[in-house]
Structure 1
Amino acid sequence: MEPQRITVLGAGSWGTAFAKVLADAGRDVTMWARRPEIAAEISGEHTNSGYLPGIVLPGRLTATSDAAAALDGAQAVVLAVPSQSLRANLTGWRDLLPPDATLVSLAKGVELGTLKRMSEVIAEISGAGAGRIVVVTGPNLAREIAQEQPAAAVLACVDHERAVAIQRACSTSYFRPYTNTDVVGAELGGACKNVIALSCGMASGLGYGANTLATLITRGLAETARLGAKLGADPLTFAGLAGVGDLVATCSSPLSRNRAFGERLGRGETLAQAQAAAGGQVAEGVMSCSSIRELAQTAGVDMPLTDAMHRVCHEGVDPRQAGAALLGRERKHEWS
């Protein structure tokens, strides 16, 4: 059934932008914010200046810092917290989740330690079957969507009718969602693109141009598709919005946190310096490069760009040396 009352747990940039989309689509939306002052600003002033300055939020969008109040009566619950904190947050919310609500994941990553995709973490903690979990992915830069610039997304769920219900709930004049049943491919595309965006940022920081960027995007897509094929994804998914679409946006835009973080590393900043410049936040790709690398090794899949990003971020390898090592690899056929 198409949900009317929707709760968004998390008040960061993407959570706020998606909440706006839902409200603009005519839904009654309640956001949960960890900090009471953010909840008060959203409800009272219809803005979230800390994450989306200058954006006016719809009047039917309200917020609270009380998770129980936010979840009361929700027909769909949007999980809008970072991938590596999803497990801890969801554990705290588990007993408050309405039993039949659709669980919608905005997080893009692979969990450190368990190597689980976000839908797998949600299923484990909530006890929800795969048919209740919908994954949102695609080229979704939050500020552009909040500005109502035309954009599309993919809603992936093994239950197609469940995906269609969420599709109807978030369709607006500026936001066009498509459905897909390939959850594995959608999630791997969303996780891996953050790592490839780091590499593109580093290349830009080193002064490299369009040829290098195009090479990194294309070869990054190739290694993502290799991992996806090994784990049972549909190869067509990587040719769509969840694959090349998300990759192009995240690797090319200055609004991309992962690209901007990588650019600072390419200019010679340390991980700590780049993190400080990002307001204390670490880009998703910095963490995911390690978990995706380990997942690939477990699956026996070669992912040289992901491996290089792990070495730069966590082993102190200089970005220029990492690039030279990539160029010095054994020559081979493009599709081997």
Structure 2
Amino acid sequence: MAESAAQSPAPSRVVRSVTVLGAGSWGTTFAKILADAGRDVTMWARRPEVAHEITHEHVNSGYLPGITLPGNLRATSDAAEALEGADAVVLAVPSQSLRSNLERWRDLLPADTILVSLAKGVELGTLKRMSEVIGEVAGVPETSVVVVAGPNLAKEIAQGQPAAGVFACGDHERAVAVQEAAFTGYFRPYTNTDVVGSELGGACKNVIALSCGMAAGLGFGANTVATLITRGLAETGRLGVKLGADPMTFAGLAGVGDMVATCASPLSRNRTFGERIGKGETIEQAQQAVGGQVAEGVMSCRSIRDLAHRCGVDMPITDAMYRVCHEGRDPATVGAELLGRQQKPERM
């Protein structure tokens, strides 16, 4: 399980300068955490006007309205400028665009910089986890990539509400260095060496959050949502253990912590997206309602389903979400099919 910040040894590497590539809500929030922890933080934003707003007005109105950003946080739309001299580079782009973005940035990365992944998903086609994609594209051992997991609803953390996260890495020294760089009075980072479990927990919870949203949209209450969270955690754990994860990871922040936050909060794009589908909207209508972005779970249910099939793991809720999102099945009908499956003992 995770190791607390108070118990961690002092890092032999020190992260002073950090680049965050991506200016969405979570990327901006993570940059704010680092800046509040006293680090020199530079963000890369795709649009120059967003970079200008962050640097000169200290806001990112499109993604974090109402949040004032620290003065030691600046942004640029020039990736080479952003990456110069960075001790750590945080990749804060969606999982399905991570590869193409990193291919453009690869030759600009400072030597031996610590790569940190905020993306939560499984890549379509290759079925690789994000640390595997980063390792492959950047030409570094995937065990050297620090993965950020846990209940990380951006708006609440940006407001300074107490929260925690898990920094998972096979190279514990790197995890501790990033942990130290992101330790603030409102955000408590823990470390973990179980990268597989931490990444799968983060990817699968988006799919389960879709199902919880659909249940709410159909008019069902807390019992239904609790059932989906619990059984969703069980199928996530089955896949994780099959791929070598520590089963106890799923009882921690990267597992049940992230699952509960994403499945229960109206701030979760995946839950909100699912609720609209449950109320009878199409994928396109739901996409427009959440700002034109497709929820990660819509894409992830396909790749996670394919990964589960390849591993011979039964993931009925994930399969149900695939049928709704990609085969056009009715959520109520699929829900009834889930309840009508063959009876069996409860197993995790």
Instruction: Please classify the TM superposition score into its range, dividing by the shorter chain length.
Output: over 0.9
1:276 to 288, 294, 297: 288
Matched letter for residue 311 of structure 1: R
3-state SS of paired residue (2:35): helix
Q: Contact 2:136 / 2:142 at 8 angstroms: preserved in 1?
A: no
State the shift of 1:161 in Å.
1.1
3-state SS of paired residue (1:158): coil
Residue 161 (structure 2) pairs with residue 156 (structure 1): no
Q: Which residues of 2 match residues 83-232 of structure 1 at below 5 A?
A: 83-232=95-244
Q: Aligned partners of 1:222, 1:267: CA distance in 2, in Å?
A: 27
Residue 38 (structure 2) pairs with residue 26 (structure 1): yes
Q: Aligned partners of 1:13, 1:124: CA distance in 2, in Å?
A: 26
Identity score, percent: 77
State the shift of 1:132 in Å.
2.5
Residue 338 (structure 2) pairs with residue 326 (structure 1): yes
State the shift of 1:130 in Å.
2.6
Residue 323 (structure 2) pairs with residue 311 (structure 1): yes
Q: Aligned partners of 1:56, 1:23: CA distance in 2, in Å?
A: 12
Matched letter for residue 52 of structure 2: A
Q: Aligned partners of 1:68, 1:184: CA distance in 2, in Å?
A: 31
State the shift of 1:152 in Å.
0.3
3-state SS of paired residue (2:167): strand
Q: Aligned partners of 2:337, 2:143: CA distance in 1, in Å?
A: 43
State the shift of 1:99 in Å.
1.6
Q: Contact 2:208 / 2:229 at 8 angstroms: preserved in 1?
A: yes
* Unmatched 5+ stretches in structure 2: 1-12
Q: Contact 2:263 / 2:271 at 8 angstroms: preserved in 1?
A: yes
Matched letter for residue 119 of structure 2: A
Q: Aligned partners of 2:291, 2:237: CA distance in 1, in Å?
A: 33
1:250 to 246, 255, 262: 262
Q: Aligned partners of 1:107, 1:11: CA distance in 2, in Å?
A: 13
3-state SS of paired residue (2:121): coil
Matched letter for residue 155 of structure 1: F
Matched letter for residue 57 of structure 1: L
Q: Aligned partners of 1:278, 1:218: CA distance in 2, in Å?
A: 26
Matched letter for residue 240 of structure 1: G
What TM-score, normalized by structure 2, do the two folds share?
A: 0.96
Residue 31 (structure 2) pairs with residue 11 (structure 1): no
Matched letter for residue 278 of structure 1: V
Residues 316/131 of structure 1: CA separation in 2 closer, same or farther (3 Å cut): closer
In the alignment, which residue of structure 2 is the partner of 1:286?
298
3-state SS of paired residue (1:311): helix
Q: Contact 1:25 / 1:169 at 8 angstroms: preserved in 2?
A: yes
State the shift of 1:160 in Å.
0.8
State the shift of 1:293 in Å.
0.2
Residue 97 (structure 2) pairs with residue 58 (structure 1): no
Deviations 1:63-103 (A, max 9, x none): 00000000000010000000000000000000000120000
Residue 58 (structure 2) pairs with residue 46 (structure 1): yes
Q: Aligned partners of 1:63, 1:128: CA distance in 2, in Å?
A: 26
Q: Aligned partners of 2:24, 2:327: CA distance in 1, in Å?
A: 30
Deviations 1:82-128 (A, max 9, x none): 00000000000000001200000000000000000000000000001
In the alignment, which residue of structure 2 is the partner of 1:240?
252
3-state SS of paired residue (1:7): strand
In the alignment, which residue of structure 2 is the partner of 1:70?
82
Paired residues in the alignment total 336
Indicate the larger mover: 130-139 or 88-97.
130-139
State the shift of 1:2 in Å.
1.6
3-state SS of paired residue (2:329): coil
Q: Contact 1:101 / 1:132 at 8 angstroms: preserved in 2?
A: no
Q: Aligned partners of 2:190, 2:310: CA distance in 1, in Å?
A: 32
- CA root-mean-square deviation: 0.6
Deviations 1:310-336 (A, max 9, x none): 000000000000100000100001017
Matched letter for residue 68 of structure 1: A
Q: Aligned partners of 1:6, 1:160: CA distance in 2, in Å?
A: 19
What TM-score, normalized by structure 1, do the two folds share?
A: 0.99
State the shift of 1:287 in Å.
0.1
Matched letter for residue 175 of structure 2: A
1:259 to 271, 292, 295: 271
